[in-house]
Amino acid sequence: MTARDVDRRSEPARTEGRNTSSSELARTEGRNLSHYIRSIPDFPKPGIVFRDITPLLASPVGLDASLTALTGLTQQLRPDVVIGAEARGFLFGPALACRLGAGFVLARKPGSLPHRTIRAEYALEYGTSVLELHEDAIEAGARVLVHDDLLATGGTAAALCELVEQLGGVVVGCAFLIELAFLPGRAALAGRDVHTLISYAEE
């Protein structure tokens, strides 16, 4: 048996000696992370409050704690693969996959992937956008965790779910660092198992 044959999903997540087996503990830690998030009013346009995660990314403590908490929320889902969309889904996605003993696959804008692709279109505030995924990125029956840094209207995450299911994968859950709960993201993911660390109830 080679190292690749070992099913690491059965191993408990280990991060700096922390026990991340409790999803409730992870949610508590997530709430404590909110002080790393900087709120910037009127960006990118008047009336919008931008939730800036760059202070969290710049902090070794904040970055480790956020990954530990995300792992605690999702390890019971036992994913084979984590999928994230460019570009912000690439910030935590590969590291989270590594901690979960899973692989990582990336969805990108049209023309960015070199191999044959499938695609999913999703709605924006004005117009539509498209994500593509390599047609061999996910095996039929694979357990897939959808990840992004932010859940807002849910269009990107719903498109990721569609891509996974086009290839016969099974979406076992969706995990986000931040949720803007006043927007219809959860409605767009109705029926999905959604996990978030930090939630904002209002703009």
Summarised one tens digit per residue, pLDDT across range 30-64 is: 668 999 999 999 999 999 999 999 999 999 999 99
Q: Is the predicted pLDDT of residue 140 greater than 80, yes or no?
A: yes
Whole domain around residue 124: which residue ranges?
A: 21-200
Helices 60-74 + 89-100 axis angle, to 10? 60
Q: 16, 24, 125, 202: which one is catalytic? A: 125
Coil, strand, or helix at residue 82? strand
Q: Contact 176/149 with Cβ under 8 angstroms?
A: yes
Q: Is residue 110 part of a domain?
A: yes
Q: Is 86 part of the annotated catalytic residue set?
A: no
Q: Distance between CA 77 and CA 72 in Å, rounded? A: 10
User: Model-level pTM greater than 0.75?
Assistant: yes
Q: 9, 18, 78, 88: which one is catalytic? A: 88
pLDDT at 20: 38
Which is nearest to 118 in space by CA: 184, 85, 166? 166
Which is nearest to 196 in space by CA: 101, 91, 109, 74? 74
Q: Is residue 12 part of a domain?
A: no
Average pLDDT, the chain: 88
Q: Is 24 part of the annotated catalytic residue set?
A: no
Q: Domain with 115 in it: what CATH number?
A: 3.40.50.2020
Q: Is residue 76 part of a domain?
A: yes
Q: Is residue 63 part of a domain?
A: yes
Q: Is residue 129 part of a domain?
A: yes
Q: Distance between CA 119 and CA 197 in Å, rounded? A: 29
Q: Distance between CA 120 and CA 132 in Å, rounded? A: 7
Q: Is residue 11 part of a domain?
A: no
Q: Is residue 147 part of a domain?
A: yes
Q: Is residue 3 part of a domain?
A: no
Q: How sure is the predictor about 3, in pLDDT bands with cuts at 50, 70 and 90? A: very low
Total number of residues shown for the chain: 203
Number of domain units in the chain: 1
